[in-house]
Amino acid sequence: MTATATDAAPTLPPLPGLDALGEPLRVIVVDDHPLYRQGIVRALEAAGVAVVAEAGDGGSALDLIRLHEPDVAVLDVSMPVLDGIDVVAALARRGSTVPVVLLSAFDDDPLITAALEAGAATYVNKTADRDDILWAIAAAATPAQSPGALTGPSGLAPGDRHGWIPRLTLREVELLMLARDGSTKAEMARRLVIDESAVRRGLSSAITKTGADTLPEALDVVSRAGVIA
């Protein structure tokens, strides 16, 4: 049956704040806007969810997810150090079982595509009703929605960082050189006349081949290996 604008809106039951064992869901919230982050934290706690950590940048997000291994990580897309999609991609490369819900103030189709391709469980606009955001977080709380499960095996074995020279494609080298020079992903896409999703896929592949977790680490590996001057 196809829903129409005249259909009555369903009445939602209370937010399920417990995991399968009856314990409170454990969630990490990362957003560089403190007031928005605090609002999400308060709403989660009021729903019976345990917020085990919070932060304001993607680098801290990656560290906290690995430290706490929460049931769900809630990340802003636009953050300092690493953006939310980069964090998801880093988790996917290591087969993480922590599902990620990405929040953004923008409904940008290429961005949504990149987020889901990276392994995010879902992408929610920050302007959505607060209950809808909480339900998206609760619905993501299953290993089947994790980056490792959604992306599957990459087929790329992490490289040995000690003296090994990664076999990068010409496009991957181009992307790394642009990243080294400070280009944003949007600028790389314009420069190479490709879409931003292709930029992210190329960088993610290059990062995996170098055995790194993040783009800055990959740049360090290829610089020391003499792949880029």
Among candidate residues 116, 151, 186, the one where a domain is terminated: 151
> Looking at the structure, do residues 34 and 109 belong to the same domain, yes or no?
yes
Q: Is residue 57 part of a domain?
A: yes
Contacts of 220 (CB under 8 A, 6+ apart): 212
Q: pLDDT at position 160, please? A: 46
> Looking at the structure, do residues 197 and 117 belong to the same domain, yes or no?
no
Comparing 190 with 162, the larger pLDDT belongs to 190
CATH number at residue 178: 1.10.10.10
Q: Give the E-state strand segments of 37-187 in sequence order.
A: 50-55, 72-76, 100-104, 122-125
**What confidence tens digit (pLDDT) does each residue in 151-183 have?**
876 555 554 444 455 588 989 999 999 999 999
**Number of domains comprising the chain:** 2
Q: Phi, psi (5° rounding) for residue 158?
A: -55, 140
**Packing angle, helices 34-46 and 130-139, rounded to 10:** 70
> Looking at the structure, do residues 56 and 113 belong to the same domain, yes or no?
yes
Domain that holds residue 96: 26-151
Name the pTM for this structure: 0.78
> Looking at the structure, do residues 179 and 138 belong to the same domain, yes or no?
no
- Gap between the Cα atoms of 27 and 47, Å rounded: 12
Q: Please state, rounded to an integer, the average pLDDT across all residues of the chain.
A: 85
The H or E element spanning position 66 is helix 58-68
Comparing 8 with 3, the larger pLDDT belongs to 8
Comparing 17 with 62, the larger pLDDT belongs to 62
CATH number at residue 51: 3.40.50.2300
